[in-house]
Amino acid sequence: MKLTKQGHSCVRLEKDGRRLVIDPGAFSEEDAAGGADAILVTHEHIDHFDEGRLRAALDANPEAGLWTLASVAGQLSAAYPGRVHTVGEGDAFQAAGFDVEVHGQLHAVIHPDIPRITNVGYVVDGAVFHPGDALTVPGRPVETLLLPVHAPWNKFSEIVDYVREVGPRRAYTIHDGLLCDTGHMVYNRQLGPAGPGIGGAEHVRLAPGESVPV
């Protein structure tokens, strides 16, 4: 597969001429879901789910489908019968030729006074894991972890311990839309050889639009 980093928490995966896009929210490029054959959404927060952009992508490609949890599916399923699929932890399915497993149930705690919402993560082709807004351990080996480095719900020590527990070969930064250049520099340094160590995994931050094979 080819992995392309989009803005914030959005990525595009491509193989055999098909495109799968995860979390094309309001903090990613306006056309991040454009050309998608399948779209996965982890939860309802605006930086992961932008209804207008999803509708535009589904309208542009009548064969495209959306797989997501109930809170998002309920907002779109009536307009796209048979194309919006509700999923939850433990489900496995094929989307545009990609094998997908669903892991996780809840969004990470932002603050005890803020009710938790549902959140799911996706393992794609047994190789790439996107956890959404949670530090879900998928309970299976994955070579590539998409690592949410910065959010109101996490701190750096948790990120380090999370990579160590998942044990991927490489960790690519996602959920970085709130960081300035200085913040990127600090995180890149601490997640690299100068930091406390992330269990032997290689950490890389891709610039939006940059692609790598996975």
State how many domains the chain has: 1
* Residue 128 domain flag: yes
CATH of the domain at 22: 3.60.15.10
In a domain, 213, yes or no: no
pLDDT class for 6, splitting at 50, 70, 90?
Answer: very high
Write the CA distances from 2 to 11, 63, 128, 179, integer angstroms. Answer: 10, 21, 11, 25
Tell me what percent of the residues of the chain surpass a pLDDT of 70: 100
* Residue 214 belongs to a domain: no
Residue 108 lies in a domain: yes
Short-list 56, 206, 86, CA closest to 144: 206
Write the pLDDT tens digit of every residue in 160-190: 999 999 999 999 999 999 999 999 999 999 9
Residue-wise DSSP of the chain:
-EEEE-STT-EEEEETTEEEEE---TTS-TTTTTT-SEEEE--SSTTT--HHHHHHHHHH-TT-EEEE-HHHHTTTTTTSTTTEEE--TT-EEEETTEEEEEE--BPPPS-TTSPP-B--EEEETTTEEE--SS----SS--SEEEEE---TT--HHHHHHHHHHH--SEEEEES-TT--HHHHHHHHHHTSTTSS--TTPEEE-PPTT-EEE-
pLDDT at 38: 98
By the 8 A CB rule, do 119 and 106 touch?
A: yes
Average pLDDT over residues 139-159: 97
- pLDDT value, residue 63: 96
79-95 pLDDT, tens per residue?
Answer: 999 999 999 999 999 99
Q: 197-209, pLDDT tens digit by residue? A: 999 999 999 999 9
Is residue 35 a part of any domain in this protein?
yes
Write down the pLDDT at residue 121.
98
Q: 103 — phi, psi (to 5°)?
A: -135, 140
Domain annotation covers residue 212: no
Polymer length of the chain? 214
Radius of gyration of the chain (CA): 16
Q: Which domain holds residue 144?
A: 2-207
pLDDT number for residue 182:
97
> Whole-angstrom Cα distance, residue 19 to residue 182?
33
> Has residue 102 been placed in a domain?
yes
pLDDT of res. 167: 98
The pair of structure tokens assigned to 150 is 């910065």
